[in-house]
Every structure is written in C-alpha cells, then in structure tokens.
Amino acid sequence: MKLFINQKIFLLFKQFLTIGTVLVILVAIIGHIVRDRHIVLALMMYIPLLPLGLWAILLDLWQEGHSLPKLRFSLTIIGLIITIWGSYSMIGTGNNLAKITANTISLLHWNVKWGGIGYNGHLTSQYTGDEWPSIRTDIFQHYPDIIVLNEPPQIDSWLAQLTQQMGPNWSMFKYYRTKRNGLAIFSSGKLQFERLAKIRNGMAMLVKVTVREQPLRLLLVDGKRSVRKVRTPLLTDIIKAVIDSDQQGQPVDMIIGDFNAVSHSIGFDSYTTAAGGYQLASKNARVWRGTWPFFLALYDIDHIWIHKRFQIIQLKMLMNLNTDHRGQLVYFQNNR
C-alpha cells in the first residue's frame, strides 16, 4: 500500500513537472513573439529559450518520451525547436573573416562592475583589491584605440592608472549619474565631451574622439536596471537623441553602452534605419552574443551599434572573473 502511494505521488510529481514546463514554454513563446509591449510581456520575453529547451528535452528523455500523451517524444521535439530558436537568436550570423589593416580602428566596451569599488568609494570586504588591476591588464593586452567603460572605478587614481598604462598620449573623460553608475571613455587621440542627452530611465552623453585623424562621435549610454519598467522609453529617447544630433549636422557614428535591454526589444527596431541606419556589432561574429551574467551569459544587454557607413571587420567577446559582464572588442573601418 505504501509503495503504491509513493508511486502515485511520484507520478503526480512528473505530471506536475510536465505541465509546468509546457506552460512556461507557452508563456516564453508568446513573450518572444509579441515582445515587450507591456511589462508583463517583457518579463515573458526574458525567459531564456535555450535552457528551457534543454530542460524540456531532458525531462522528456527521463520519462522515456511519454511526457505528453499520444505522440511519443513530442516534448523532446518541442524542446529541440526551442533550443534551436534560442541558439540562433543569440549567435551572430556574420562571417567575421575580413582582415585587420592599418586603417582599422578598434573599440572596447565593458561594464566592469565598479572595478572592485564599493558605493562609498572604498574597498568593501568582499573585494581583495586585485579586481581592477586584473581587468586593467586584460584591457591593455588588447590595446584598443578607444575604451568605453560602464560602472568604472570611482577612484580617480585607478582610472589614471589605465590612462598611464595605455600610453602618454591617452586621455580620459568620466561622468557619474549616481555614486554607483557612471561612464568613462579613454582614447589614444583627442577626446572632447560635447553634451549630455536627456533620456528617460538612464543617462547618455555625446563625446567626440579623433583616432588617426578620423573624428568619431559616440553616444555613450547607461540604462537603469529595473524589472518594473519596459525599456521602450529609454531606447526611443536614445535614438531620438541620435536623430536630433544628425539633423544638427553632428552625425553619431556609434551608440555604445549597457542598455539593460536585450537586442530583441521593440525599442531597437528603428535603430537599423534611423539617421542612415546602425548595425549591431555583436551580430557580425559567429559567437555567443550574451554579455550578462558572464558565467551563464543568457542576455545580451550591452551593445555597440555602429553606423552603416563603417564596415565591421571583427568582433571578440572578452571575459574576466572579476566582473559579471562580458566585454566586446570590435574592429571597424570607414567604407568611404
């Protein structure tokens, strides 16, 4: 009798797992198709398809293909479709075969998570003090022409260390929205802050750099983290700032930063055509495009949008155990 009851409970448990999995799959499909038109739909869109598909496959194999009635291994088939969909949407489709030349410019973007600095500007107990030197070394090894950092260290001397390490002609500009959130840009050429752009739910600033006598205007972005707000207002304001700047005779070459918004967000739809159109750098290489969290990068929330007047040559994804974001290093050159 006890064995019978245990078997029945176990059967109910498997049925519960199956029903729950199917419901989550339906919710995720709706979210990824309809996308973030509402905060509820946004949360549904953020259900990652790849691990969900793999879970469905494992669950069905555990039940020997009998998870769903009538058609054996039907849940496995559904899981495979979800897995392929999730993988395809997160892997770049570019060939990344072009060669780097003397005219190629390199840009590195990275959210470095304060570089080991606590909110009060001092080392907190959870850090050893080795985080920033490690990140700084990784940056220097790639030696990009332009460096953009979200959530950089708050201590000026730490930022000065990177500037000095990169070389005597390097310059830096930083701006903090809050004690915790800020932006810093480093350049091997002339660096000029132009203005802040007013956007909702975040911060953006226009900066002009000159690399190998080529002027480049960058819009740097730091989006607020919030699970209670859709990203559309933020993304709409960003591209509006780009269009306004273009109409004023100051075309923006790159839009860079931690948007806290996945590339599938509705607000990004207009980026490919606005002000001549922009291309998402991470889609140029056949690599996994997720940037957060680094140990299981399911979400691509950090982006480099480059104007279509440029050709993207290569893109590399970077990782350091001392920050919870992956960095992006892109090589590009002017098509003109």
Lowest-confidence pick of 63-77, 85-99, 171-185, 312-326: 85-99
Please report the pLDDT score of residue 124 as a whole number.
Answer: 47
Contact criterion met (CB below 8 Å) for 67 and 27 = no
Mean pLDDT for the chain?
90
Pairing of strands 202-211, 214-223: antiparallel
Residue 102 confidence class, pLDDT cut points 50, 70, 90: confident
- The alpha carbon dihedral of 77, 81, 86, 88 has a sign of positive
The whole-angstrom separation of Cα 211 and Cα 185 is 13
pTM of the model: 0.92
Question: Closest by alpha carbon to 63, among 22, 26, 29?
Answer: 22
Please report the pLDDT score of residue 155 as a whole number.
Answer: 85
Please report the pLDDT score of residue 4 as a whole number.
Answer: 55
Give residue limits of the domains in the chain: 2-90, 105-334
Lowest-confidence pick of 98-112, 234-248, 264-278: 98-112
Structure tokens at 321: 């155990």
Sheet holding 171-176, edge to edge: 171-176, 182-187, 146-150, 105-111, 327-334, 310-318
pLDDT, tens digit (0-9, with 9 covering 90-100), for 119-129: 444 444 444 56
pLDDT, tens digit (0-9, with 9 covering 90-100), for 251-261: 999 999 999 99
Please report the pLDDT score of residue 225 as a whole number.
Answer: 85
Domain 105-334 CATH superfamily: Endonuclease/exonuclease/phosphatase (3.60.10.10)
Please report the pLDDT score of residue 243 as a whole number.
Answer: 98
* 303, β-bridge pairs: 257
pLDDT, tens digit (0-9, with 9 covering 90-100), for 146-173: 999 999 988 889 999 999 999 999 999 9
Region 299-307: mean pLDDT is 97
pLDDT at 211 over 90: yes
Please report the pLDDT score of residue 2 as a whole number.
Answer: 54
Please report the pLDDT score of residue 9 as a whole number.
Answer: 81
Please report the pLDDT score of residue 114 as a whole number.
Answer: 64
pLDDT, tens digit (0-9, with 9 covering 90-100), for 13-65: 888 999 999 999 999 999 999 999 999 999 999 999 999 999 999 999 999 99
3-state secondary structure the chain: CHHHHHHHHHHHHHHHHHHHHHHHHHHHHHHHHHCCCCHHHHHHHCCCHHHHHHHHHHHHHHCCCCCCCCCCCHHHHHHHHHHHHHHHHHECCCCCCCCCCCCCEEEEEEECHHHHCCCCCCCCCCCCCCHHHHHHHHHHHHCCCEEEEECCCCCHHHHHHHHHHHCCCCEEEEEECCCCCEEEEEECCCEEEEEEECCCCEEEEEEEEEECCEEEEEEEEEECCCCCCCCHHHHHHHHHHHHHHHHCCCCCCEEEEECCCCCCCHHHHHHHCHHHCEEEHHHHCCCECCCECHHHCCECCEEEEEECCEEEEEEEEECCCCCCCCEEEEEEEECC
pLDDT at 241 over 70: yes
